[in-house]
């Protein structure tokens, strides 16, 4: 059975003190069990302090991710942060190809592929995001679009490396909009991603790889979404900023709850 993973993407939110307060509250509210991994992705300037704070909270099992990581190890890339730097400050995961990076910073599948490859080689677990626009869904080309994105992003990732990858299916029309994909829609696309992984890497890998859903997940809808057979966790934006909501999502991910 695949362990679930709930990732909170804080985006460009929270001050230093708010970040620390949030992890403390999450730790108080979450029921820690080994079947669910919990990750928070603070803004880059607060990553190091968040790692330190978590280490100081007794029994806290929150892991830290980054919202982005560059594909070069060092050099003249103003404003970027390398995967090696992320590892250096205790980061374990990195989100790559979030739709906001694609929309506002022009990231293509090819760039996302380079970031994912570098993350793996550096020892980070990449959480690679894919998703269709509303127009693409309405034109019934969701599966085609997702297959194309996944194929391009996984290009060059070997069979040994692929198990380290997490894929997040995030329909763009559901991100930050309050509109959630139905359980069936989300499960269907996650299933088609798993089928593609099967075609590319075989059964063992396709059964092991974790595929998350993201898009307006909250304390109310999480249980149903997370009980779908192909959904192995959630990538959570807005609701990850509220300790009660986020903890509710984590607690509903436990095996005995779905």
Interface residues toward ligand PEP, by CB under 6 A: 9, 170, 175-176, 214-217, 235-239
> Smallest distance from the beta carbon of 8 to ligand PEP, in angstroms?
9
- Residues recognised as catalytic: 98, 170
> Measured in whole angstroms, how far is the alpha carbon of residue 68 from the centre of its chain?
11
Helices (H), 89-211: 99-105, 109-122, 134-138, 142-154, 159-162, 183-201, 203-208
Nearer to ligand PEP, 54 or 172 (CB): 172
- Indicate the angle between helix axes 47-56 and 16-29, nearest 10 degrees: 40
Q: Find residue 167's DSSP bridge partners.
A: 128, 211
Residue 29: helix, strand or coil by DSSP?
helix
> Smallest distance from the beta carbon of 225 to ligand PEP, in angstroms?
11
Give the CB-nearest residue to ligand PEP.
237
Taking alpha carbons only, the member of 59, 26, 81, 61 closest to residue 240 is 26
Residue 242 corresponds to which tokens in the numbers above?
A: 């509220």
Distance CA 63, CA 124 (A): 12
Q: Report DSSP letters for 129-158, one per residue.
A: EE---HHHHHTT-HHHHHHHHHHHHHTT--
């Amino acid at each position: 059975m695949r362990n679930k993973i709930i990732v909170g993407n804080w985006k460009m939110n929270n001050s230093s003190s708010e970040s620390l307060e949030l992890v403390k509250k999450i730790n108080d509210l979450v029921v820690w069990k080994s079947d669910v991994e919990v990750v928070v992705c603070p803004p880059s300037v607060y990553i190091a302090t968040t790692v330190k704070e978590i280490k100081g909270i007794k029994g806290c099992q929150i892991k830290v991710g980054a919202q982005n990581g560059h594909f070069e190890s060092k050099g003249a890339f103003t404003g970027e942060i390398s995967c090696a730097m992320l590892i250096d400050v205790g980061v374990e995961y990195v989100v790559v190809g979030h739709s906001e990076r694609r929309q506002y910073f022009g990231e293509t599948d090819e760039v996302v592929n380079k970031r994912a490859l570098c993350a793996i080689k550096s020892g980070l677990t990449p959480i690679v995001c894919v998703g269709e626009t509303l127009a693409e869904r309405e034109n019934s080309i969701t599966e085609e679009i997702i297959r194309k994105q996944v194929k391009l992003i996984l290009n060059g990732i070997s069979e040994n490396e692929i198990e380290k990858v997490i894929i997040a299916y995030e329909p763009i029309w559901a991100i930050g909009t309050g509109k959630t994909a139905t359980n069936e829609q989300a499960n269907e696309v996650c299933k088609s991603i798993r089928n593609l992984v099967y075609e590319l890497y075989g059964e063992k890998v396709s059964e092991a790889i974790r595929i998350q859903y993201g898009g307006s997940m909250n304390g109310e809808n999480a249980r149903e979404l997370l009980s779908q057979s192909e959904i192995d966790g959630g990538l959570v934006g807005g609701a990850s900023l509220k300790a009660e909501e986020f903890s509710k999502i984590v607690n509903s991910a436990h095996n005995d709850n779905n």
